């Protein structure tokens, strides 16, 4: 017969009840049960009063009988006893196949479906009116209906960016209607092209005016109408800060493109694209400071030696709202920069080819600088991708990443388009080698992308230096394509 040689057992009792977590090291009599000692244990750990009975178990989950003496529960010295309220285990639900499908289904979220149908209706109205009215008038009428709709129906406010774009398109088509007469040189080039150059050339045919003077007025009208739509939506509290920032960024970069067209030289088209890309890089670098000031965020001030300590007592009560506004503004700046950079990259694809003499005279892509254009695209892509991979905002990171990818793709297309039969360019073999290296780097991204978040601080420092070098390299490359050096030589 086995007899207990001690009258107590030393255990650790852990009491878990909801958010209540406490434990105590106790010496309990082996002849008593946990049910008899539960009130004293609860008093020692200050446990809450419960409406459900307590349940005891070991650390491994084996249940302990609250009515048995501890000597019969095989609890040894140093054991852990966990006390928690009893919980009813839900009974298993047996379903057939039809009931299982119903239970597995989730309610559909169709919040944006009304906006989609409204957008389709506006497009249909514009298409019907375009049969009897000019395209600009048809778009303007549909735009008026859409403006009233988003103001009085909050469910359709996701259409605001599309309406802003439609307003800019109506302004452009008011000066340069689609389907009108194209320049003879443009029509001749459109018949000689093939491959990627033909795709780009045909897409631009929708917005090519008949005369160079009309292009400037069309751009001015598009910017004016787009900004007017943003002003209307901003006054009526319909447009989000992101939409407003994106439109203002597009308008500013459009003015930069107009200034690039005005530069002297053989390729104003290329000069406009280079000017826009250079401005995009500078804008992305300066955007954090600009948006924080626009949102009204102020940096906490620390008193200097001898200064009154009250200068650090200032506190912005709505700092969280201002921070969210700053994030939306920055996302809008990145979105607008990405949208403006796409046509700029399309213009640089045609550098040195001479296949886009839009108008009679020095306007097109006759500049023999395809190597400079490729280098500029690679530097822009390298600077942006290094900035995007470390960004904390998803929308901005996606915009910058896609813009960097578009820059790399442009760098690969430049030698291909320059070697087309209709092109006047003669790309060097080194351009194809550089394009191949860039394409191989993009293709191998899944192999090393997972190691980027865990890079060492010294590696990140070298990345930052490479980013700074890429930004600095963009300046002379863009200045050459813009024609700034040629302008300075002409002044001398």
Query: How far apart are alpha carbons 468 and 379 in whole angstroms?
Result: 10
Within this chain, do residues 378 and 428 fall inside the same structural domain, yes or no? yes
Q: Print pLDDT tens along the chain (492 aa).
A: 444 467 888 888 888 887 888 888 888 888 888 888 888 888 888 888 877 888 888 888 788 888 888 888 888 888 888 888 887 767 777 777 777 777 776 666 667 788 888 889 988 998 898 888 888 888 889 989 988 888 888 888 788 888 888 888 888 888 877 766 666 666 666 666 666 666 666 666 666 666 655 676 777 888 888 888 888 888 887 878 888 888 888 888 888 887 777 776 667 778 888 889 999 998 888 888 888 888 877 777 776 766 666 666 666 677 778 888 888 888 888 888 888 888 888 888 877 666 554 444 333 445 567 788 888 888 998 888 877 877 777 888 888 888 889 989 988 888 887 777 666 667 778 888 888 888 888 888 888 877 777 778 888 888 888 888 988 888 888 888 887 777 777 664
* pLDDT at residue 359, rounded to an integer: 46
184 lies in some domain: no
* pLDDT at residue 124, rounded to an integer: 92
Query: How far apart are alpha carbons 48 and 13 in whole angstroms?
Result: 15
45 lies in some domain: yes
Q: What are the φ/ψ torsions at residue 203 (nearest 5 degrees)?
A: -65, -40
Within this chain, do residues 107 and 42 fall inside the same structural domain, yes or no? no
- Scored b (16 or more CB within 10 A) or e, 333-354 reads bbbbbbbbbebbbbbbbbbbbb
Within this chain, do residues 35 and 105 fall inside the same structural domain, yes or no? no
For 395, what's the count of Cα atoms within 13 Å in the CB-facing half-sphere? Answer: 14
How would you list the strands of the sheet with 63-64, edge to edge?
20-29, 8-17, 80-85, 54-58, 63-64
Q: How many CB atoms lie within 10 A of CB 113?
A: 11
Within this chain, do residues 107 and 50 fall inside the same structural domain, yes or no? no
Within this chain, do residues 379 and 422 fall inside the same structural domain, yes or no? yes
Dihedral of CA atoms 48, 54, 60, 64 in degrees, nearest 10, equals: 150
354 lies in some domain: yes
Query: How far apart are alpha carbons 387 and 398 in whole angstroms?
Result: 11
Q: Which domain holds residue 443?
A: 97-111+194-298+318-491
Overall pTM > 0.75:
no
Q: Which residues contact 271 (CB under 8 A, 6 or more apart)?
A: 260, 261, 263, 265, 481, 482, 483
Within this chain, do residues 107 and 38 fall inside the same structural domain, yes or no? no
Within this chain, do residues 18 and 105 fall inside the same structural domain, yes or no? no
159 lies in some domain: no
Q: What is the CATH number of the domain that holds 44?
A: 3.10.20.90
Bridge partners (DSSP) listed for residue 54: 85
Within this chain, do residues 411 and 340 fall inside the same structural domain, yes or no? yes
- Interhelix angle for 135-152 vs 212-235, to 10°? 10
219 lies in some domain: yes
167 lies in some domain: no
379 lies in some domain: yes
Within this chain, do residues 78 and 37 fall inside the same structural domain, yes or no? yes
Within this chain, do residues 354 and 415 fall inside the same structural domain, yes or no? yes
Number of separate domains in the chain: 2
461 lies in some domain: yes
Within this chain, do residues 46 and 102 fall inside the same structural domain, yes or no? no
Bridge partners (DSSP) listed for residue 26: 11
Within this chain, do residues 103 and 54 fall inside the same structural domain, yes or no? no
């Amino acid at each position: 017969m086995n007899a207990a040689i001690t009258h107590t057992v030393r255990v650790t009792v852990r009491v878990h009840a909801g958010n209540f977590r406490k434990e105590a090291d106790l010496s309990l009599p082996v002849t008593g049960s946990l049910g008899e000692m539960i009130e004293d244990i609860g008093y020692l750990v200050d446990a809450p009063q419960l409406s459900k009975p307590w349940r005891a178990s070991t650390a491994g989950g084996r249940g302990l009988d609250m009515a048995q003496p501890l000597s019969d529960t095989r609890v040894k010295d140093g054991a852990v006893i966990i006390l928690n309220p009893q919980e009813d285990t839900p009974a298993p639900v047996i379903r057939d196949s039809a009931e299982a499908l119903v239970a597995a289904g989730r309610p559909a979220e169709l919040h944006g479906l009304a906006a989609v149908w409204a957008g389709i209706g506006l497009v249909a109205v514009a298409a019907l009116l375009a049969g009897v009215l000019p395209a600009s008038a048809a778009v303007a009428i549909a735009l008026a209906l859409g403006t009233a709709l988003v103001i009085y129906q909050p469910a359709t406010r996701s259409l605001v960016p599309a309406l802003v774009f439609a307003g800019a398109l109506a302004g452009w088509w008011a000066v340069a209607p689609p389907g009108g007469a194209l320049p003879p040189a443009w029509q001749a080039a459109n018949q000689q092209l093939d491959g990627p150059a033909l795709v780009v050339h045909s897409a631009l045919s929708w917005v090519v005016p008949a005369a160079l003077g009309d292009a400037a007025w069309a751009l001015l009208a598009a910017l004016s109408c787009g900004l007017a739509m943003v002003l209307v939506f901003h006054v009526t509290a319909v447009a989000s800060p992101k939409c407003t920032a994106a439109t203002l960024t597009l308008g500013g970069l459009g003015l930069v493109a107009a200034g690039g067209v005005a530069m002297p030289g053989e390729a104003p088209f290329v000069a406009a694209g280079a000017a826009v890309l250079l401005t995009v890089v500078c804008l992305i670098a300066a955007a954090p400071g600009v948006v924080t000031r626009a949102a009204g965020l102020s940096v906490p001030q620390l008193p200097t030696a001898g200064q009154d300590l009250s200068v650090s007592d200032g506190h912005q009560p709505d700092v969280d709202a201002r921070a969210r506004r700053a994030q939306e503004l920055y996302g809008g700046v990145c979105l607008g920069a990405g949208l403006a950079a796409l046509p700029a990259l399309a213009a640089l694809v045609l550098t040195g080819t001479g296949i886009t003499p839009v108008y009679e005279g020095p306007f097109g892509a006759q500049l023999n600088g395809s190597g400079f254009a490729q280098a500029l695209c690679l530097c822009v892509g390298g600077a942006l991708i290094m900035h995007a991979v470390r960004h904390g905002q998803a929308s901005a990171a996606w915009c910058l990443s896609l813009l960097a990818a578009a820059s790399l793709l442009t760098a690969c297309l430049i030698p291909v388009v320059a070697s087309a039969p209709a092109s006047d360019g003669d790309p060097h073999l080194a351009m194809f080698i550089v394009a191949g290296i860039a394409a191989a780097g993009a293709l191998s991204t899944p192999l090393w992308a997972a190691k980027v978040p865990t890079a060492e601080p010294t590696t990140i420092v070298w990345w930052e230096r490479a980013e700074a070098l890429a930004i600095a390299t963009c300046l002379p490359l863009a200045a050459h394509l813009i024609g700034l050096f040629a302008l300075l030589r002409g002044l001398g």
